[in-house]
Structure formats: C-alpha cells, structure tokens
A and B are shown apart, each in its own frame.
Chain A
C-alpha cells in the first residue's frame, strides 16, 4: 500500500506507528478518512485487530464500572447553602 495515501501521516511527514493510529481511533480523535484507512489496515494487521478489541472492551468497561455513582445528596444542599450565604 502506498504510504502517501495514509491519512495519518503527520504534517512533519513522520509515519505514525500502529499504536498511535489505534489510539486516535479508540479515543474518537480520527477523521473519517483515518477511520476508513484504519478499518482496512486491521484486515491485514493482526496486532492492531487484537489490540483494538481489547482496548475497546477496556474503554467500555472503565466507563460502566467506574462512573455512574451519584454525589451524596447533602453535598448539593451544602453547596447551595454556602452560595446563598455568600451571595
């Protein structure tokens, strides 16, 4: 594949590594062209394919396992009370 068509190539002409491309994809920082390119790249790059699945799973798990808790109810009341006494 011609490297000149790689939309991940940086302004300084440096060719990004698999890991750098994967990271952009994973974190939603890639352009539509980059996403398209990476999809094809995964067809012939086993490390990227495997890592993509692991990294995506981990990212989703982090979100479901480590967020979603509510702040203590008295915290909201305390903040509002302080604001109203200082305002």
Chain B
C-alpha cells in the first residue's frame, strides 16, 4: 500500500541511520499524540508508535530523503491503526459519509454556519473541556481535526495521509468542527453561559 508506489531509494546503513534519527525521530512527540488521540490509551499509543517506527525503518527505501517525513509517518501510523488496531478492537467506523457529503452540499450549511458558541465561553474552558470534547468525537472526525488543527497539515497532505479526495477532507473537517462545537456548547451551558 503506502510503500508500493514510491520509487525505491538506495541508502547505505549510515544514511539509513541518519534519516531515521534526523528526519523521523524528531516527530516522535507528534506521533505519540496522534497515537494517543486515536486509541485513547497510553499503552496502545506506545505500541502503535513503536510499530510505525519499525515499519518506517523496514521500508525506509520507499522514503525519499528530504521529502515530507512527517506526513509519511502519519500515513503509516494511520494505516497501522486501521489495519491492526481497529480490527483487533472491532470498533466499526460510525461515520456515515453519504450523509456528510449531503450535509455539506445542502443549502442548510449557510443558515447554520456555526453552532452558536461564543468566544468568551471558549476562553473560559481552561481545564480539559476542549481535549475531552475532541476525544469524544468518532475517530474519523477526530482524525481530521488532529491533522488540521493540532498538526497543521494542509488539505493536500491530509488527503494523502487519509487516502481520500480533498473535497472529502473539507467536508469531513467542517462536519467534525460542528460536532465539536456542539459538544463545547453544552459544556458552555453547564458553566452557566446561555
């Protein structure tokens, strides 16, 4: 899958070590956070990140030195999560993509551009509200927010990491944010905001 389409590079052992240490390892904290946000378990996150790095090393000749290592690593982790972890835990994908597309393309989106959430109430969320709200989203929605808002990937990079068209990246992101805002709105209400 992710290793097949790339032209094969040839590296010496020394070069492999250099790429691994200088291009892959600097992303370990982001990778761990991604693993944790996907699995919501610290031990599972560790396993997932370790598997990802071992795969990255094993297939290092599919990686072209100096290209986007972070996106490449995120893609491997995402695929490991789907193929190994998710299968094991049998958590089905709950996102109805058909519905997402319809939602995005309907005229209703402009009327409801944003769930009514205020800047002031957001700024009062000084505890774990934001983090908990993010973790409570279905994994496919959570993933696009992690990639875009936490990690700053561009739509094009996200499309490659997730193997979906850019239009789907956009619509899924929009839906994810509205769901997140709905959650935060109920937190805000419980804190006494209207």
Contacts and interface: CB of A to CB of B under 8 A. Distances in A.
B161 to A, nearest CB: 15
Interface of A is mostly: helix
B119 A54 contact: yes
A63 B149 contact: yes
A36 interface: no
Contacts of B170: 20, 23
B95 interface: no
Q: Say which size band chain A's interface belongs to.
A: 35 or more
A28 B165 CA distance: 18
Interface stretch (B2-10, B31-39, B78-86): B31-39
B30 interface: yes
Contact of B130 (A27, A61, A71, A72): A61
Contacts of B118: 54
Contacts of B151: 67
B155 interface: yes
A61 B125 CA distance: 9
B131 A76 contact: no
Contacts of B16: 87
Nearest to B13: A87
* SS of B interface (majority): helix
Interface size class of B (residues with CB under 8 A): 35 or more
A87 B113 CA distance: 53
B54 A79 contact: yes
Contact of B122 (A22, A27, A29, A61): A61
Contacts of B109: 17, 19
A71 B113 contact: no
Given A29-B154, A47-B114, 15 more contacts: A17-B109, A22-B113, A23-B173, A61-B122, A61-B130, A62-B149, A62-B150, A67-B30, A71-B28, A71-B32, A71-B49, A72-B42, A75-B28, A78-B50, A82-B54
Interface of B: 13, 16, 20, 25, 28-33, 36-37, 42, 46, 49-50, 53-54, 57-58, 109-110, 113-114, 117-119, 122-123, 125, 128, 130-131, 134, 145-146, 148-151, 154-155, 170, 173-174, 177, 180-181, 184
25 contacts: A17-B110, A19-B110, A27-B148, A27-B173, A29-B155, A47-B114, A54-B118, A54-B122, A57-B123, A58-B117, A58-B130, A58-B149, A62-B134, A62-B145, A66-B131, A66-B146, A66-B150, A69-B33, A70-B29, A71-B29, A75-B50, A79-B53, A83-B53, A83-B54, A87-B16
